[in-house]
Structure 1
């Protein structure tokens, strides 16, 4: 009898557990999607991953993954969201001197809009290469660079393209105009090249030491410039790339870009890193934002920058003094 009683107790306990599980399932609250709906109604969402920002003086356009485009007037940061059909992943955007905008998506398309960033028309890029950076020249020509050191150039708003290459199996990551004829490109394996005739001919590539992977480059002139890369490294040249010196930074985070504002030079990157050049050293600027990457920056006013990047980061940074003040939009 003792064994029978023990067995019955075990069965009873098992039945009780099953009944308790049923009660818990039955009492579970219905899924509340109100918070999700509220988040989706916002022009800026926590899931947004911004990759580029540009301004034509009156309108700001920021772009990102999954067809993300937001616009705002420069003098009133009220954002309007546009989700482009097909959800192309935008990797960069620039403004042209005629006030139009040009954006690049990872699916080998360039998108051209009006001066308000309202209407976007795509054009296919005639290349098998992956293009990752786009720029508009002072004469409104569109340029884009990418894999196999490829440079594409259009002088008629994307109706036709001219393709050239440095014949290097390297990814070009940066293109910068110093004037309508002088252009510098740089990228993987420390490749650096320039043209002084608007892209008709390119100089033989110079090579930044140690196969330095250029995430971004900024040149104040044909001779003086900086390149940023992984592990928080910044190199400086004052002879057009013939020699490079490593400058001290206060971070080991990857750096993605530079911006010059009011005769000051800033670098930015992963973990919300913002640096300012002081002499030959880069000093960290306190940043109240969460540790997400900063992918692009824009000068709003003489002393205000707009920073944008991961997890919906789109905020202003006031830079009048060394003691910086952060304000969230």
Structure 2
């Protein structure tokens, strides 16, 4: 007996519909920032989303070289800098409409970026490396604090004072704008802060695995564990003048209220959340993995 058959036609309608969307369920969103009235979200494969509140009609841009962004920050002059895994800093002077790149000359892995009060650029990474540029990325200076740890974040308080934290509880401070750094006593138990935020040189928080958040009121000399309603990793903080939020795995959004952390009523999504910004009096915009980009009522 001769058996014959035919193959069903391939239906690409769903794929084409997904490609037509500004935000797709395959997008891995890593960070967001705000420049003037424009919100910028960056992710893997060169993805840049721009939108304005309150409508948040997102415009999608994919940079040609497909850099894998891990961080984005707004500088004091409202320019934007975005760090990619390819040892590049991407710079935008027009609220994310166009970008130029600066190669960062280091063999170390870089995972965080910030702007100094003087619009200098700072990128941090493995082997306690700090890369800095004071001429808009034309030239870079490499400084290692010679510790076998990754610096996960750096935060400036003013022109001279900043703090850096990282792997194995590493913590260091500068009082001369980053030219010299003094290593402090580490955060206890070799704690690895996935995210950190300091409201000033004395008061700060670090977060990590298991839903752990530690706080200090003496500049890191001592730390206290704070109760949180989750065991999911906490990746990042966002603070404005009056409120402090934290974001983590399994769609976790927390807010600190009266010295306690409370879980906000966010969509129940089984993905990581890495960043957020308050976009008006009632809404917090949150971004994360697998196209997670939504607002939370606050």
Short-chain TM bin: over 0.9
1:37 to 16, 20, 38: 16
Could you say which structure has the higher helix fraction?
1
| Moved beyond 6 Å, runs of 4+ | none
Give 2:262's aligned residue. Answer: 283
**1:32-55 deviations in whole A, cap 9, x for unaligned?**
101101111111000000001011
Query: Is it true that 1:251 corresponds to 2:220 in the alignment?
Result: no
Deviation track 1:133-159 (CA, whole Å, cap 9, x = no partner) reads 111122211111000000111111100
Residue correspondence of structure 1 range 225-304 to structure 2 within 5 A: 225-261=204-240, 263-304=242-283
Contiguous gaps of at least 5 residues in structure 2: none
Please, what TM-score do these two structures have when normalized by structure 1? Answer: 0.87
Aligned-pair CA distance for 1:208? 0.5
1:88 matched residue in structure 2: 67
Task: Establish whether residue 171 from structure 1 lines up as the match of residue 150 from structure 2.
Answer: yes
Q: How many residues align?
A: 298
Any conservation in 2 of the 1:153–1:163 contact (CA below 8 Å)?
yes
Could you give the per-residue CA deviations for residues 159-212 of structure 1, whole angstroms, max 9, x where no partner exists?
Answer: 011221221110111111222222111111010111121101111233011110
Structure 1 residue aligned with 2:191: 212
Is it true that 1:61 corresponds to 2:43 in the alignment?
A: no
**Corresponding residue number in structure 1 for 2:56:** 77
| TM-score after normalising by structure 2 | 0.96
Quote the offset at 1:289 in angstroms: 4.0
Compare 258-267 and 309-318 and name the one that shifted more: 258-267
Bigger CA radius of gyration: 1
Name which of 61, 86, 100 aligns with 1:107: 86
Report the RMSD for the aligned CA atoms in angstroms: 1.4
Instruction: Provide the rounded CA distance (Å) in 1 between the counterparts of 2:256 and 2:263.
Output: 9
Question: Separation in 1 of the partners of 2:191 and 2:39?
Answer: 33
Q: Secondary structure at the match of 2:172?
A: strand
Greater relative contact order, per chain length (Cα 8 Å cut-off, separation 6+) = 2
Q: Distance in 2 between matches of 1:180 and 1:36?
A: 50
- Equivalent residue of 2:57, what SS? strand
Distance 1:62 1:40 in 2: 18
On the 8 A contact 1:110/1:122 being kept in 2, the answer is yes
Aligned match for 2:28, one of 41, 49, 62: 49
Counterpart of 1:134 (choices 113, 122, 125) is 113
- On the 8 A contact 2:265/2:296 being kept in 1, the answer is no
Aligned match of 1:121: 100
